[in-house]
Amino acid sequence: MLLSDKKIKEYIKSGKILVDPFDENLVGPASLDLRLGFKFRVFKNIDVEAIDPKEYKDDIIFRTETDRYIIHHGKYSDLYILRDQKTPFIVHPGEFVLASIYEYLKLPDNIAAQIQGRSSYARLGLIIHTSAGWVDPGYSGHLTLEVVNVNKIPIKLYPITCIAQISFFELDSVETPYHARKDSKYVDEGGATESRIYKDFEK
């Protein structure tokens, strides 16, 4: 069952669904607007033959700071953390960026969710998630967006602005929720989390 605005408010206020921080004004008829966080992961232009999913580990190598960002440098990507919400992050044409959602989300074992981009950003040529829009029951963390700019012009993104919508679905029962699965790779993720696909090959 898709939750209505009334049920969304009821479940969040009762603590059944955790959204922190929660702004009641962001609840729509059948969805909740989610805001952009401060973390952005950008892939480097490096000289490698290919990314091998079996071997992909993007560990942090070193850290630098500027007046605008704290930057964690990895092997394949750099994680930019904005220092304040007035500083925009620019997504260039054709660029692929992992971005964090501001709100911390925790779902109970009988509620799943679906995240979608907002129409206003889509009309600018911004794809909010390339494929992974489903959120399993029992998930917790700051969701990661897979952002692509298909416009010919750079697009500025500002933290704490509404970037996506999430809808909630109540299920009858789930045998094994996300947090209880041994192969769950993104439990309590912090947002703009790197791919952990290498774990698929460790089974």
The highest-level CATH class for domain 5-42+50-58+86-202 is: mainly beta
Segments of the chain with pLDDT less than 50: none
Q: Is the CB of residue 107 less than 8 Å from the CB of residue 39?
A: no
pLDDT given for residue 74 in this prediction: 92
Closest by CA to 26, choosing from 5, 10, 7, 11, is 5
Strand partners, 35: 162
Sorted by where each begins, the domain ranges of the chain are 5-42+50-58+86-202
pLDDT of residue 203: 64
Which residues have C-beta within 8 Å of that of residue 60, sequence separation ≥ 6? Answer: 72, 73, 74, 79
H helices of the chain, where? 5-14, 119-122
Task: Quote the pLDDT of residue 182.
Answer: 60
18-20 β-sheet, strand order: 18-20, 104-106, 140-141
Residue 112 confidence (pLDDT): 96
Q: Distance between CA atoms of 203 and 199, rounded to whole angstroms?
A: 7
Catalytic positions, written as ranges: 146
In 3D space, the residue among 95, 100, 90 whose CA is nearest the CA of residue 155 turns out to be 90
